[in-house]
Structure 1
Amino acid sequence: MVKLRGHHLICLNFYDGDGIDERFKQNVEFIKKRLVEGEDIKIVEGPDDICMECKYLKNQICNFSADSETEVKNLDEKALKFLNLKKGVVVNFNELKRKASYAPLEFYKDFCNGCSFMEYCKCPVKI
């Protein structure tokens, strides 16, 4: 079972792992492959299976930027609220993709605003 935090439930629909390093990208691709093949997701709080291969994760805290830990926690909350999910719940990626496809553009304008990975992402805000 893949463990994912809130914002990754949304972001994995549009992001392929570019922008950090090759190890991180390969991990994102591997996790997305597992999800497409039907492996379930357990929603977790804090660092997840994506984060574990990120060079900016130190002592279970995101150090991508000075404010990144607070930013990702806020994104986690926004994503879980929109998806009407809570930590500990087990979900299927196809179900999440369906829910994400129904999100209004206004949701993505707010959710993706200021994202450091926008240039690598296929987010609806860019379309």
Structure 2
Amino acid sequence: MISLRGHHLICLQFYRGEGYDKRFVENLEGVLMRAEGGEEILVVGGPDDICRSCPTLRDKECVSWPGADAEIRQMDAQAMGYLGVETGSKVRWQDIKARVMAVSREWLASFCKGCGWEEVCIEKKKNWGLV
């Protein structure tokens, strides 16, 4: 079973092959392949299978910038609220994808505003008509 936190359920929909380093990208692509292959996903409230290879994870907290962990947990809560899932929920990638594809442009723009990865995602968002 794959573990994913709230914001990764949304953000991974727009992934396009970039990341912090080779190890991180290889792990992320492996997780994504498993999800797209139908493996069940457990929604978690903190570091997940993507985070485990992140160079900014220290003692189960994101240290990318001061206050990062609190901001990311807030994004997780916002994403889970939008998707209608809770910590401990079990979901399928295709179900989550359908919910993300139904998102309003305004909600997505607000959710993504200020994210350091926002420009990386833009092409897939354009392809889906979300920008």
TM-score by length of 1: 0.94
Q: Does 1:39 align with 2:15?
A: no
1:17 and 1:25 in contact (8 A); partners too: yes
Q: 1:118 offset after TM fit, Å?
A: 1.5
**Structure with the bigger percentage of helix:** 2
Q: Any residues of structure 2 matched to 1:96-111 within 5 Å, and which?
A: 96-111=96-111
- Structure 1 residue runs of 5 or longer lacking an equivalent are none
Q: Which runs of 4+ in 1 moved over 6 A?
A: none
TM-score by length of 2: 0.91
1:105 and 1:124 in contact (8 A); partners too: no
- Structure 2 residue runs of 5 or longer lacking an equivalent are none
Match of 2:125 in 1: 124
1:19 and 1:120 in contact (8 A); partners too: no
Specify the code of the residue in structure 2 equivalent to 1:33.
M
1:16 and 1:25 in contact (8 A); partners too: no
| Distance in 2 (alpha carbons) for counterparts of 1:106 and 1:42 | 28
Q: 1:87 offset after TM fit, Å?
A: 0.5
Q: What secondary structure is seen at the aligned counterpart in 2 of 1:103?
A: coil
Q: 1:17 offset after TM fit, Å?
A: 5.2
Specify the code of the residue in structure 2 equivalent to 1:124.
K
Aligned-residue Cα RMSD (Å) equals 1.5
How many residues in Structure 1 have an aligned counterpart in Structure 2? 127
CA 1:97–1:12 in 2, change beyond 3 Å: closer, same or farther? same
Q: Tell me whether 18-27 or 45-54 shows the greater mean CA deviation.
A: 18-27
